[in-house]
Homo-oligomer: A and B are copies of this chain.
Amino acid sequence: MKSDKAFFSGIEKNIGYVFENKGLIKTALTHSSYVNENKNSRDNERLEFLGDSILSLVVSNYIFNYKSNLKEGELTKIRASCVCEKSLINVANKLKIGDYIRLGKGEQNSGGKKRTSILADATEAIIAAIYLDSDLETVSKYVILWLEDTIVSAIKHKKDSDYKSKLQEEIQKVKGRVLKYEVVDVEGPDHDRKFTICVYCDNKLIGKGQGNSKKEAEQNAAQDALSKPNDNL
């Protein structure tokens, strides 16, 4: 185990935040398996509980303000795709949290430092530690710094994946109109297929798109239809 001084300066450098109360970051990095062997220490589970709510609010706040036209259902999906183990592990790896987690010997020997749930939980605990050491505004800056790419890409992905729904909505504005997607071409070898799909409204061609999957090509065809001046829309 690193000396206290090296421990704090190392992790604080990685996080980019200097703690007034060093006990908070120590606790945030302490797994319950360590406490079982070192009775005077505290594990990070309570901090993890608090960090989960802080993370959720920071992400909610960000996406709520990002585009005022995102609907509640979209906001909920975007938040869920950002507040999850996968994105927490990304943060943990960026900040090299694994190097600083205090584990019990058994857990350490069985490769606990790489266990995804341990990394994700410690990341949430660190979020709570910064919050308790400062305030919501400060911790928000850090969370956004770490997660902004993930959040923005989730928003973009959500918007992209909505072209088909949007086109469907447009078409339905006139009762009885029917939308149809059709594969008109498939090129390339198995591992690199390229699909070309046309979309028709009442059998009139309104858009065309390509993609490595049918889904992607349909989305692109719908986007194409929406982007054109079109009597049918």
Contact = CB atoms under 8 A, between A and B. Distances in A.
Given A53-B53, A136-B136, A72 B60 contact: no
A100 interface: no
A54 interface: yes
Contacts of A70: 46
A77 B79 CA distance: 22
A232 to B, nearest CB: 24
A165 interface: no
Contacts of A53: 53, 56-57, 59-61, 79
A218 interface: no
A58 to B, nearest CB: 9
A50 interface: yes
A130 to B, nearest CB: 14
Interface string A39-77: 000000110111011101101110010001011100110
Given A46-B75, A49-B76, A50-B61, 4 more contacts: A46-B64, A48-B72, A50-B60, A56-B56
